[in-house]
Structure 1
Amino acid sequence: MSDTDLSVLPGQRRGNWIRLRTLILLRWMAITGQLTAVAIAYWGLRLDLELGLCFLLIGAAVIVNLIATFVFPETKRLSERETAALALFDILQLGLLLSLTGGLHNPFALLLLGPVTVSASVLTLRSTLLLGAVAVAAVTLLGLVHLPLRTAAGEVLRTPPVLLAGTWAALVIALVFLSIYSRRISSEMHAMSDALTATQMALAREQKLTDLGGVVAAAAHELGTPLATIKLTSAELMEELGEHPELREDAALIRDQADRCRDILRSMGRAGKEDLLVKQAPLEEIVREAVEPHEDRGKRIRHALSPACEGPQPSVLRRPEIVHGLRNLVQNAVDFARGEVRIESGWTPDRIWIRIADDGPGFPSGVLARIGEPFMRSRRSERERAQRPGYEGMGLGLFIAKTLLERSGAELTFANGGDAPRGPGGAPALRGAIVEVAWPRRKIDAVAGETPVPRGQNRPISA
């Protein structure tokens, strides 16, 4: 359904994520492990190894690390190509070292999984496929071309052919599976991070608008009397324009009231005052505020109270997340409605709800269970593109609305008109998409809820 029009989010740019210092430290750990393994195998287990060539390959990794340490600054972050190049070096260096120490007969061959799994988490699909192909080729060559492991007595340590083939297959399958698994989990985490960033941006924007409305309301409240006096006095001066001594008293009054206005503005500029009235509003007013930006978009929007309402209309908390979340849901309904959107609100002593229904095609059955997930893309027909040409289908709008409203204590129910559950107000009349937002009354009731709005005069905002 709806989406918020946002520019590229920070999490969508995956370049320059990895610090060079991080890879340097990891490689020092790998070098230490390789030296330890070679030393134990040669001097501890008395295996006949090409010690010079092994130390030559390990020394190449040491040289690369030293160059990276002294040539580049510690704060350098690697680009996509640089990260892929270092991962490729690690695969080739480890593959050559394994070829000198038994190939797939060496149990440490499973370490080839490391660079590919890490690359799948942080690199693009193209780089991951390239590194995966190189790793599979290395595993295959290690099974065919390698120096045998020999003991000091000349005995060759070999794995049975069937077990060796199984080891090759297991490594290849592990490379593919772990890469897909790591990339899938990483992509979901990045998508969630981007979506939460968008949610915070939307909430911050709504909070600024709310604060601005509070300042305007406070200014109007505080300056009402002096501005009215100035207006009245100015009118009298215009009527009595001329050289009369009594006009000096009126001019003095104008000056005094202007000074008073200046003092009030100065006081608001230093500390400000929170307007208690803008912190709460009748439920109908909250709905009206959410609907207002979409009233002139060519769709008829009707708002009615449910016949199941019990008692007087409640005054609810006017929180930015509630207003912005409802506004996104109304935007969805207007975008997909053919001609009409109906909003029904109601309350009981224990519950407050708002139901938004449209006469559009409804939610696709294939994505109904996944509604509210961020970056949920789906293919659209040409008719749908013509109906909503600017819609990208990322699912951010619903995710933002769901996240913000759930933060306020609401529960959201998504359904189509024929499948919607009957609420206290009865079954919805429209057959399109249905979204019901319901709160426990104690969560948003501004008078008798868990966080009631204080009564009395406006208070200075504490620093």
Structure 2
Amino acid sequence: MKAPTFGEISQDNRGEWVRLRTLTYVRAVALAGQVGAFLLAVVVFDLRFDMGLVALVLAAAAVSILLALFLFPPTKRLSDMEASLTFLFDIAQLGCLLYLTGGITNPFALLVMAPVAISAMALQPRSTMMLALVAVALITLVSVTYQPLRFTDGTILVVPPILSFGFWAAIVIGVVFQAFYAHRVAAESESMADALLAVQMALSREQKLTDLGGVVAATAHELGTPLATIKLISSELVDELTDRPDLMEDLHLLADQVDRCRDILRAMGRSGKDDTHMHRAPLEAVLIEAAEPHRSRGKNVHFLLTPEGGAPDSQPLILRRPEIIHGLRNLIQNAVDFAQSEVWIDARWSPQTLTLRIIDDGAGFPPQVLASIGEPFIGNRRDSARAKRRPGYDGMGLGSFIAKTLLERTGARLDFMNCDGSVRTLPQAPELHGALVEISWPLSAIAVDVSQGLGPNPAMSA
């Protein structure tokens, strides 16, 4: 799957929409329904199947659910391939059950449409098409060969061929229709969300430009009159002091500086907007900018920069993106909020990767929420203890989620953990047990190649 370009708004960039824990709960409910239907058919309707094989198929589904629950963290999100394999397993498991319980004559055969419909909403079209083809193939197979339903006395439940064909046709049409319908609805919803985001970004940018234009206009208006007065007086003095050559040079300099002020006021509205050199900065400068609002809050913030693996000693020049600065600022804020007195921002780079570690000397992440950090949740603003721990901050518990989302858009990978006491490379930190957030990028995704120079700067040539 193509990774989204940094800052790109596109309807084609689906991925990791399906949360494993949510899908596992849905599959558990489906398994409970299958078991209930099986018991109801045996106890109430006196139907008989190959109970050993049916129990084996149900047990396989139960094992897959338990593995998903205990082997993966609650926040695990499935990639397109992982979700496709999960849905493929569910379709195959249902196909085996249908083969053992009457094939196409089993009214629960229509459940084969569910995995295809869900995949159409969350996965790439090619994955949905593959699942739909597999579902149609299995339905066709169990309509031709299956173990018929039998009653206790051995009587076989016989369905007229025309009804069997009707069942098959209805299910096939349903698979295709539901897949198409769900995909269209999901695509339109995603398109609307992207459009709203684009409108919000455009409005925000326009508001900033409007505010800047207002400041420039007010400045030009306020300074225009005194500058014009200075210009007029300097011109008159030039005419009156022609016999004082020692003062003429100063008067000409004064007139030139007035003209320069006028030119600066005219250029203020343009300068900075196209300055591509402001879009990149040394690594340390970006880190200091991100941490600046929280360095005066009574905690010591240390910056450490270390090359590794044969990397050059000079720190890399990286993209100075708002997403990077805002995401790092949120994480640094959390570290300062919960630190006792010290926070370390440890940056290390190799020829391939750039890794940042934000570490504090606090109590660390609570074990009960460690697995859920990075997921959106709403905090309790009335928690007085929390307010004391985080003075001057009235957040809603979304900081880590926002930081994780913004930084992942730049190609970063985030890991939240607690120090185990083995962090000994930091000054004044022999045995840290506080929180540790590790952010790593491929160096090619964030560093600027300066081997060919910085390139032209439109702002300077305007």
- TM-score range (shorter-chain normalised) is 0.3 to 0.5
Bigger RCO of structures 1 and 2 (CA < 8 A, at least 6 apart) = 1
Bigger radius of gyration among the two: 1
* TM-score, normalised via structure 2 length: 0.47
